[in-house]
Amino acid sequence: MSKTGSESVRVRKAFHVVWREPSVLPGFGLSFAILTSALLALVLIPLAALILKAGGAGAGEILAIATSPRTLAALRLSFGAAALAALVNAVFGLIVAWALVRYDFPGRRLVDAAIDLPFALPTAVAGIALTALWAPNGWFGARAAEWFGAKIAYTPLGVAVALVFVGLPFVVRSIQPVLADGARDVEEAAALLGASRTRTVFRVILPNVAPALITGVALAFARAVGEYGSVIFIAGNVPMVSEIAPLLIVIKLEQFDYAGAAVVGALMLAISFLALLAINAFQAASRRRFGYV
């Protein structure tokens, strides 16, 4: 081997040690290039443009937009309704997951497949369907008015109803695997140690499920905050009352207020990024402590 040859081998090896472990499998360069260029072109550069545009508005204006009563009201609604929906889903998601995993009933597999409906159904379709159901003259809206004197559609409650629909599969799908294979032998151990079923459920099973439940609820919450299509039909979109944050962006865009739209967008991006970080940190901590999520 010539001297320059061995030199280049050494340089290449040093390069590998620095940033990639050697492998005999081919195609790293090509696949890495496709992935990173697509990611840059489709996601990162566009998001950078958003940050750039928002930053270009200047500190004073950013603060003014971020703290304007209308923005604050929209954010309060988006987060408040998302939190209410997450709470409902935490309770009923647990019940549904329990029924699906632990009980056998006719059509169980069908019901299980249907849980993913909110993932698969286009949001606009969900939006008009929920509105038709919960409007004052709808199947459920009329009953709600008759029995409780409550108005659901075109109020913040309507927003929460839509967000329950959107978040349901996140919660159920997060809990199911843990209920399925996590606690069986532990439950048997608890029963053999003389615990009543109620005690086993609340002291052994639920604590086991808790990390997965929290993860699912957090995912549902994060999705709900940014949700648009299924909400705008049922929300009524009254400024300061039932106007969600994503709609504020659309309205600003329609008024050609690009900077204003960018500021609200960047604000929401920052919030959802923090939520993502929090979920990851929580999962990492849970994995360290319990060995699973």
Partner 1 sequence: MRGADAGLRERPAARALLLVLAFAFLALFLAAPLAIVFVEALRPGLGAYLAHLAEPDARAAMRLTLTVAAICVPINVIVGLAGAWAIARFRFRGRNLLVTLVDLPFSVSPVIAGLVYVLLFGAQGYFGPWLKAQGIDVIFALPGIVLATLFVTFPFVARELIPHMETIGSSEEEAALLLGASPWRMFFAIVLPNVKWSLLYGVLLCNARAMGEFGAVAVVSGRIRGETTTMPLHVEILYNEYMGAASFATASLLALLALVTLAAKAGVEWRFAKSIAAQAPAGSE
Partner 2 sequence: MSVALVVENLEKRFGEFPALRGVSLHVAPGELVALLGPSGSGKTTLLRAVAGLEQTEGGRILFGDQDATGLSLRDRRIGFVFQHYALFARMNAFENVAFGLRARPRGQRPPDSEIRARVSALLDLVQLRGLETRFPAQLSGGQKQRVALARALAIEPRVLLLDEPFGALDAQVRRDLRRWLRDLHQRTGHTTLFVTHDQEEAMELADRVAILNGGLLEQVGAPDEIYENPASAFVCEFTGEANRFLGRVRGGRATIGDAFDLPHMRGPVEGDAALLVRPADVALASAGVPGVVSGRRRHGAGLRIEIESPHARGIVEVDARPDDALAQAARIGAPVFLHVARAHAFPA
**Type of residue found at 97:** A
Residue 144: contacted member of partner 1, partner 2, none (CB under 5 to 8 Å, by partner type): none
Does 103 help bind partner 1 (rule: CB under 8 A)?
Answer: yes
Any idea what DSSP says for residue 27? -
Angle among Cα 36, 42, 47 to the nearest 5 degrees reads: 105
Residue 261: contacted member of partner 2, partner 1, none (CB under 5 to 8 Å, by partner type): partner 1
By CB under 8 A, the residues from 221 to 260 that bind partner 1 are 222-223, 225-229, 233, 246-247, 249-250, 253, 256, 258
Whether residue 224 contacts residue 81, with contact meaning beta carbons closer than 8 Å, is answered with yes
- Residue closer to partner 2 (CB basis): 1 or 120: 1
- Residue closer to partner 2 (CB basis): 5 or 291: 5
| Binding-site member from 9, 11, 42, 63 for partner 1 (CB under 8 A) | 42
- Residue closer to partner 2 (CB basis): 23 or 137: 23
Close Cβ partners of 287 (under 8 Å, ≥ 6 residues apart): 293
Which residue, among 208, 141, 146, 217, has the nearest Cα to 177 in the 3D structure? 208
The string of DSSP codes covering 207-234 is HHHHHHHHHHHHHHHHHHHH--HHHHHH
Binding mask 77-96 for partner 1 (x = CB under 8 A): ---------------x--xx
| Binding-site member from 2, 4, 18, 22 for partner 2 (CB under 8 A) | 22
Rounded Cα gap, residues 120 and 143, in angstroms = 28
Residue 148: contacted member of partner 2, partner 1, none (CB under 5 to 8 Å, by partner type): none
162: left (phi over 0), alpha (psi -120 to 50) or beta: alpha
Nearest approach, Cβ of 18 to partner 2 (angstroms)?
Answer: 13
Close Cβ partners of 15 (under 8 Å, ≥ 6 residues apart): none
| Binding-site member from 55, 61, 70, 140 for partner 1 (CB under 8 A) | 140
Which residue, among 178, 159, 189, has the nearest Cα to 290 in the 3D structure? 178
| Binding-site member from 2, 19, 24, 148 for partner 2 (CB under 8 A) | 24
With contacts defined by CB under 8 A, name the span among 64-72, 116-124, 209-217, 285-293 that binds partner 1: 116-124
| Binding-site member from 13, 102, 143, 287 for partner 2 (CB under 8 A) | 13
Residue 13: contacted member of partner 2, partner 1, none (CB under 5 to 8 Å, by partner type): partner 2
Does 132 help bind partner 1 (rule: CB under 8 A)?
Answer: yes
Rounded Cα gap, residues 243 and 70, in angstroms = 9
Which residue, among 223, 225, 255, has the nearest Cα to 75 in the 3D structure? 225
Nearest approach, Cβ of 198 to partner 2 (angstroms)?
Answer: 44
Which residues are at the interface with partner 2 (CB under 8 A)?
1, 9, 13, 22, 24
